[in-house]
């Protein structure tokens, strides 16, 4: 087990800075007192806060060279591993979405409040502040098991890795759920009926549903996508259609199979093609993850692409590893910036 180092700055007494304000002071404060490092121990931090969006400000670094990452809730990557030289301090901030259930909408409730895990090869957390976010922008995710907050390692959805690419002011509300198709996502009251009322004007809603529409005919599939788009617009949100990530099924010539790999179902429905068509007809932004992941997987080849998926661990050519989900989340991040779906200043590009 790695040792968790909470580095105490010599220039100030953390206990004085991080102690909660007295009740009389809190009563007159415009904002609640921030919760601090006294809520952390042995590599984890727990903050007893209600559901909502919270800004987290961390100060990283210690007396020795350090390298620290932060994850939270159901294995969400919130801050990529960040190196700090000995004696240095680096400040990073992000906004996290707290909800119940905390992971998949049809999964376990999880623990109340905000749970963070401090990791990395040489973790050093000098300070942390948690405060309610004021008017944060939310990116909603509607999807399946390739997108969702997967509860069990090594399974990882790209939506689970997306938060690490975002700075304070934008949170990811991942309502993707394993096994869902466009049909079941619309039918289950824990899914679309729960998500839609939460959408606020301007919130991007990324929709990637196709992997489980194996028996959905084209007319129904198209209509379901149109229903989701209309539902987002009804709340003032910004619908974004996302074509599905490819499955890792190769032809003998090193290209991906036109059926299984590229999401053409048994009825001959070409899911990515239908999504592109609906996006064009409805004037909806399109993130063509099928095209992007196809190009990447084929460029890596049969052997090199195994690391993106769970082939080595599970002989699984559909679900991504932590590495693959991180790479694919980076492709989504690039499109969020290129299509101006979130302010450029809120996206980490380093």
Domains of the chain: 36-133 (2.60.120.430), 135-350 (3.40.50.1110)
Question: What is residue 33's predicted lDDT score, i.e. its pLDDT?
Answer: 79
Task: Count Cβ neighbours within 10 Å for each residue of 57-81 and write b for 16 or more, e otherwise.
Answer: bbbbbbeeebebbbbbbbbbbbbbe
pLDDT of residue 25: 36
Low-confidence ranges of the chain (pLDDT < 70): 1-32, 350
Q: In 10 A of CB 336, how many CB atoms?
A: 25
pLDDT of residue 31: 62
CA distance 30 to 28: 7
8 A C-beta contact, residue 348 and residue 165: yes
Residue 320: C-alpha distances to residues 147, 161, 326 (Å) = 9, 11, 9
Q: Which tokens is 240 given?
A: 């974004």
Q: What is the pTM of this model?
A: 0.91
Q: Point out which residues pair with 96 in neighbouring strands.
A: 54
- What tens digit of pLDDT does each residue of 103-151 get? 999 999 999 999 999 999 999 999 999 999 998 999 999 999 999 999 9
Q: How many residues does the chain have?
A: 350
**CA end-to-end distance (rounded Å), the chain:** 29
pLDDT of res. 23 = 38
d(CA 192, CA 182) in angstroms, rounded, equals 10
* Model pLDDT, residue 1: 36
Looking at residue 170, what is its pLDDT? 96
Contact 153, 112 (CB under 8 A): no
Query: How confident is the model over 305-329, as pLDDT tens digits?
Result: 999 999 999 999 999 999 999 999 9
The secondary structure of the chain in percent helix, strand, coil, rounded to multiples of 5, reads: 30, 30, 40
């Amino acid at each position: 087990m790695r040792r968790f180092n909470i580095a105490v700055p010599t220039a100030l007494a953390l206990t004085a800075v991080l102690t909660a304000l007295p009740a009389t002071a809190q009563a007159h404060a415009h904002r609640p007192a921030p919760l601090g490092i006294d809520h952390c121990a042995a590599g984890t931090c727990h903050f007893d806060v209600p559901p909502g969006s919270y800004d987290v400000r961390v100060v990283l670094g210690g007396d020795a060279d350090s390298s620290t990452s932060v994850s939270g809730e159901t294995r969400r990557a919130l801050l990529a591993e960040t190196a700090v030289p000995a004696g240095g301090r680096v400040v990073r901030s992000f906004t996290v979405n707290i909800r119940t259930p905390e992971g998949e909408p049809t999964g376990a409730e999880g623990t109340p409040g905000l749970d963070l895990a401090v990791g990395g090869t040489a973790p050093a957390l000098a300070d942390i502040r948690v405060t309610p976010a004021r008017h944060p922008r939310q990116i909603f995710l509607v999807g399946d098991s390739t997108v969702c907050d997967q509860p069990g390692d090594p399974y990882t959805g790209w939506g689970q890795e997306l938060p690490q690419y975002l700075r304070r002011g934008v949170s990811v509300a991942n309502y993707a759920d394993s096994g869902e198709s466009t049909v079941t996502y619309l039918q289950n009251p824990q899914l679309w009926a729960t998500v839609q009322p939460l959408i606020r004007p301007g919130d991007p809603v990324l929709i990637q549903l196709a992997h489980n529409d194996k028996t959905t005919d084209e007319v129904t599939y198209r209509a379901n996508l149109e229903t989701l788009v209309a539902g987002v617009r009804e709340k003032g949100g910004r619908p974004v259609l996302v074509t599905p990530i490819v499955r890792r099924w190769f032809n003998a010539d090193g290209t991906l199979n036109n059926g299984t790999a590229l999401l053409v179902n048994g009825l001959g429905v070409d899911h990515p093609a239908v999504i592109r068509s609906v996006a064009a007809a409805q004037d909806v932004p399109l993130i063509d993850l099928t095209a992007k992941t196809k190009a990447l997987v084929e460029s890596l080849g049969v052997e090199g692409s195994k690391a993106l998926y769970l082939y080595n661990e599970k002989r699984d050519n559909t679900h991504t590893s932590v590495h693959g989900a991180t790479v694919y989340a980076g492709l989504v991040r690039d499109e969020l910036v290129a299509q101006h779906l979130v302010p450029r200043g809120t996206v980490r590009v380093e």
